[in-house]
Amino acid sequence: MLPDIDKLSLPEQVAQMIVVRASGFLFDHQIQYPVWEPPAATLQHWVQDLGVGGVILLGGSAGELAIRTQQLQKWAKTPLLIAADIEEGVGQRFSGSTWFPPPMALASIFRKDQKLGLDYAQKMGAITAQEALAIGINWVLAPVVDVNNNPDNPVINVRAFGETPDEVSQLACAFIRGAKTHPVLTTAKHFPGHGDTAVDSHLDLPVIPHSLQRLAEVELPPFAAAIASGVDTVMSAHLLIPSLDPQLPATLSHKILTGLLRQKLGFSGLITTDALVMGAIANRYGATEAVVMALLAGADILLMPVDPEEAISAVCTAVESGRISRSRIRESVERIWQAKSKVSCEPVTTTGFIERTAQKDSLEIVGEILQQSQIIHGSALALEQLIDVIKLNNKQKVNLYNIIIVDEIINCAFLDKSAPVITLTNQVGYKIQIVDSQTQNTSNLEENHPTLLQVFIRGNPFRGSAGLTKAAEDLFKKLLTTKGLQAFVLYGSPYVWQQFIHILPIEIPGVFSYGQMPAAQDRALRTLFGM
């Protein structure tokens, strides 16, 4: 039950506009990002005493999340919005749930068969929403509706549904339609378009130099389409776009959030900032001033402020000084109440959680998407002969090497001793060697033996992969020169695949997968080895 807004004090109303970050793990000693994720006592204080309006979660298993969200809702006097960045399904963030390939995989299917691509996008939305609710998440921070037309984009990349406004619009709207079959909120991000940047806004402020005409033709149509499809929230981008506002980034710009999004595009739902702890904002505008500026710009939700208590205090001070009106705060809280009345805040049950998470049909759809979006290089004869050559090498006791390149071994969600890149290659006789961006010396790698090279590269927030791409490319070329490359698999970026594949001889088999998770590894290697 939502309380009467007018019976809330000013600090209580402002607190409802705050969404804080927390760990999905249950115990303090499991917290992985202590700078951003508070200990339980602090989190309880924020939820129970300050009355923040929502929590965004990261980390832990689906089972742990089911318990965590119950705990959070029990602490709260007013039902919480509980959010997660689950653009690739709940399993992307919370192990055990269904983990889809990146959205760009659907674009590759859509280009060949529009009906099939849209069907998969809608099912992806529905499954994501169903599993989110099963573990207590009622706000899905997806879909990404940025048009990724910059191959060097380090932060959007394969998170986008494609490279053209049409494919992004159609696929994102299909995802929204699927998700709306369940009582969750959906989110179009990152307004007004983060697809043509070469800078990660988690670290610094990107600048988009495009004209108003270009923005109207490329960046804005997917947002207009998402709004027409009934998307519940729109997330701002930490971008400077001089043609729209030469001084302020979108998150802090009244011209962009109110003038363009509210008035011109007619969006009446919730506007949320992207995380206010991100370098593009926090490093330039400060922890408290950025919060006030975002509200003046038109934001309703202040996502991940550096210090929630200071943020509430700063907004209250701005109201008391006349800088922000009381009616402006009330407008946002009314929108938050409308959003909260749409979603389910019902307690999670063990039976419901198990019956609605990672079901056989969902996992089969993931497999179909992986299969349909997979790219195979090499002649049919080369693929057929690979396993025969491997058997002959084993019979002759020739050492076979499986070199795996990842960006960071110690923080790799898809690589452990049970990962198919290790287990399936072990089955056919390969020895493992792992390289990451911290590997200083690769001279000990076996390059004069038959080698399967498996590379994991995609754009990742906070982690550029440019250096890793260069290291992988150097090793790739060296293996070609020494005639050691037996087969090649790349998981992640189709742009990096294009860099490699144009110099890979037709007689050397290769496989590309948009996904990096175990299901993608399994599918790619079974294709390669004819299993």
DSSP 3-state of 204: coil
Q: Which residue has the tokens 């006789």?
A: 429
**Distance from C-alpha of 460 to C-alpha of 20, rounded to nearest angstrom:** 22
Please tell me what DSSP assigns to residue 50. I
Q: Is 218 within 8 Å of 169 (Cβ atoms)?
A: no
**Distance from C-alpha of 191 to C-alpha of 281, rounded to nearest angstrom:** 15
Q: Which of 469, 444, 443 is nearest to 456 (CA)?
A: 469
Q: DSSP strand E in 451-509: where?
A: 451-457, 485-492
Q: 361: buried, middle or exposed (CB in 10 Å: 19+, 13-18, 0-12)?
A: exposed
DSSP 3-state of 303: strand
**Distance from C-alpha of 334 to C-alpha of 339, rounded to nearest angstrom:** 9
DSSP 3-state of 148: coil
Q: Cα–Cα–Cα angle for 182, 185, 187, nearest 5°? A: 130
Which residues are tagged catalytic? 202, 274
Q: Which residue has the tokens 């990672």?
A: 358
Crossing angle of helices 380-395 and 518-529, rounded to 10°:
90
Q: Is 507 within 8 Å of 382 (Cβ atoms)?
A: yes
54: CB partners within 8 A, 6+ apart: 18, 19, 20, 80, 81, 82, 83, 139, 301
CA distances from 139 to 59, 98, 112, 136, 391 (A): 16, 17, 32, 9, 51
DSSP 3-state of 144: strand
DSSP 3-state of 59: coil
**Distance from C-alpha of 211 to C-alpha of 197, rounded to nearest angstrom:** 15
**Distance from C-alpha of 462 to C-alpha of 364, rounded to nearest angstrom:** 32
69: CB partners within 8 A, 6+ apart: 57, 82, 135, 136, 137, 348
Q: Is 51 within 8 Å of 15 (Cβ atoms)?
A: yes
Q: What are residue 221's phi and psi, to 5 degrees?
A: -55, -40
